[in-house]
């Protein structure tokens, strides 16, 4: 018997599955009204609620609505049922750029065309306050006309994600493509980090292999931090000079997109894209609200009651393990005479809920206001000190399900007042929870005691 087609939201006929991840599956589909092919990303709402990824999904929706560009995969609409969130996106027939590179390096003119389109898309994203943070050939698609499309904004950041120093602080990305300053834990400029990734992509397009590679992640990152690149003999002098500017390990002297656009190699044969009409902000907001509304009747769905979402600790990945190693501090490469922020680091085997509970008790005792977001607990003092109100950030990192790190930093106020708070309030409160303090030299450092150190 002929299998009956699955009709989604009374608008799309669902076809074959194109791929899947931990929380989502992507299907090819057909718009019943226009007969247009689309890609439908189906996200399991219960799973993202359970792991605390709501803000990430909301950000991805907002970002894709902001970046309407011919070289970015377009989001057509977002809707939801009781248990699922649906992204209807542009279907890109040609597949990943990575597949083309896997067959061998590209000719210079082909590589230049893709690179021009990539830079045009990235520049537009930056102009809209969006930083991709995971640019790599696997996240670049090619359509049937040979045009590049940037996809997967799951790790992207908006300008408002920047902290008071105007920098981003979340360590993320793919090791071989990530900029050296991202791992430095002092904050980084999202635009300059994206430019570095674009430089790695250009090298891969022209060479057919990565500029920085080592089976040992620590050794690979040392090469990245030094900008230790060996160019193939077929690279022209123009390419070498351009790549040395793109893969400059110092973000302060790395080439900007404005200067890159004037580079003779880049300008050769450049064709400006035909821009798409921009949507107004209300459409973006409407989609975000629709996906996470507490009431959904799509496809006969009933009212969805969202449970209270517990604070989700930040996952501590290999980048963070390296950055905490005493023998691998890259800050000297980028910063001179910068005042160090007071901070303390503790380790524990207690769950995040126990840590947060202790911090809330302490805040109540010390008259601090508490704000929780993702893996961060912010404590805001109510008393005026020597340098204004004391503000403290306590970030909880999950290394393994049974091993957490709590990093406490002064974000505002006087350092002496902060140290007094730590000595008389914080440390005594966490005494029964935290079993190691970084300040105690006789005890092992994070990198020495972490169970991930061996595998990294």
Q: Which of 63, 80, 228 is nearest to 132 (CA)?
A: 63
Mapped onto helix, strand or coil, the DSSP state of residue 363 is: helix
Supply 292's token pair: 């996470």
Q: Find the helix or strand (DSSP H, E) in which 93 lies.
A: none
Count of CB atoms within 10 A of residue 367's CB?
9
> Which residues participate in the annotated binding site?
41
Query: Which position among 44, 109, 134, 287 bears the catalytic label?
Result: 134
Q: d(Cα 259, Cα 448) in Å, to the nearest integer? A: 43
Q: Which residue has the tokens 């608008």?
A: 11
> Which residues participate in the annotated binding site for ATP?
41
Q: d(Cα 224, Cα 177) in Å, to the nearest integer? A: 9
Supply 293's token pair: 């509304």
152 belongs to the catalytic site: no
Count of CB atoms within 10 A of residue 112's CB?
21
Catalytic center residues: 134
């Amino acid at each position: 018997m002929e299998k009956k087609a699955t009709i989604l939201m009374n608008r799309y006929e669902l076809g074959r599955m194109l791929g899947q991840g931990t929380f989502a599956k992507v299907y090819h589909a057909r718009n019943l009204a226009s007969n247009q092919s689309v890609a439908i990303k189906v996200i399991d709402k219960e799973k993202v609620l359970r792991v605390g990824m709501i803000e990430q999904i909301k950000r991805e929706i907002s970002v894709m609505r902001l970046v309407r560009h011919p070289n970015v995969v377009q989001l057509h609409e977002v809707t939801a049922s009781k248990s699922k969130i649906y992204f209807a996106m542009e279907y890109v027939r040609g597949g990943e750029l990575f597949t083309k590179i896997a067959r061998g390096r590209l000719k210079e003119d082909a590589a230049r065309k893709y690179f021009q389109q990539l830079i045009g898309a990235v520049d537009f994203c930056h102009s809209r306050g969006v930083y991709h943070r995971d640019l790599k050939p696997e996240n670049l698609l090619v359509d049937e006309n040979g045009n590049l499309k940037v996809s997967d904004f799951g790790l992207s950041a908006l300008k408002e994600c920047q902290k008071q120093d105007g920098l981003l602080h979340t360590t993320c990305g793919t090791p071989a493509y990530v900029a050296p300053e991202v791992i430095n834990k002092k904050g980084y400029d999202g635009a300059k980090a994206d430019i570095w990734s674009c430089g790695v992509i250009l090298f891969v397009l022209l060479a057919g292999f990565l500029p920085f590679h080592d089976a040992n992640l620590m050794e690979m990152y040392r090469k990245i931090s030094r900008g230790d690149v060996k160019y193939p003999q077929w690279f022209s002098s123009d390419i070498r000079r351009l790549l040395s500017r793109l893969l400059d390990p110092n973000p302060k002297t790395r080439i900007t997109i404005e200067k890159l656009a004037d580079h003779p190699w880049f300008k050769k044969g450049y064709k400006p894209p035909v821009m798409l009409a921009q949507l107004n902000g209300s459409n973006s907001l409407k989609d975000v609200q629709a996906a996470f509304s507490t009431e959904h009747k799509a496809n006969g769905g009933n009212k969805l009651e969202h449970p209270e979402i517990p604070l989700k600790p930040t996952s501590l990945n290999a980048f963070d393990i390296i950055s905490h190693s005493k023998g691998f501090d890259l800050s000297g490469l980028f910063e001179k005479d910068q005042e160090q922020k007071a901070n303390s680091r503790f380790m524990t085997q207690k769950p995040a809920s126990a840590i947060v509970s202790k911090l809330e008790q302490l805040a109540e005792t010390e008259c601090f206001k508490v704000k929780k977001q993702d893996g961060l607990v912010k404590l805001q003092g109510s008393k005026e000190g020597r340098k204004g109100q004391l503000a403290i950030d306590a970030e909880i990192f999950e290394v393994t399900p049974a091993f957490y790190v709590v990093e406490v930093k002064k974000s505002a106020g006087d350092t002496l007042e902060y140290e007094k708070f730590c000595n008389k309030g914080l440390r005594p409160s966490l005494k029964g929870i935290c079993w190691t303090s970084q300040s105690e030299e006789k005890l092992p450092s994070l990198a020495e005691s972490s169970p991930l150190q061996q595998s990294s």
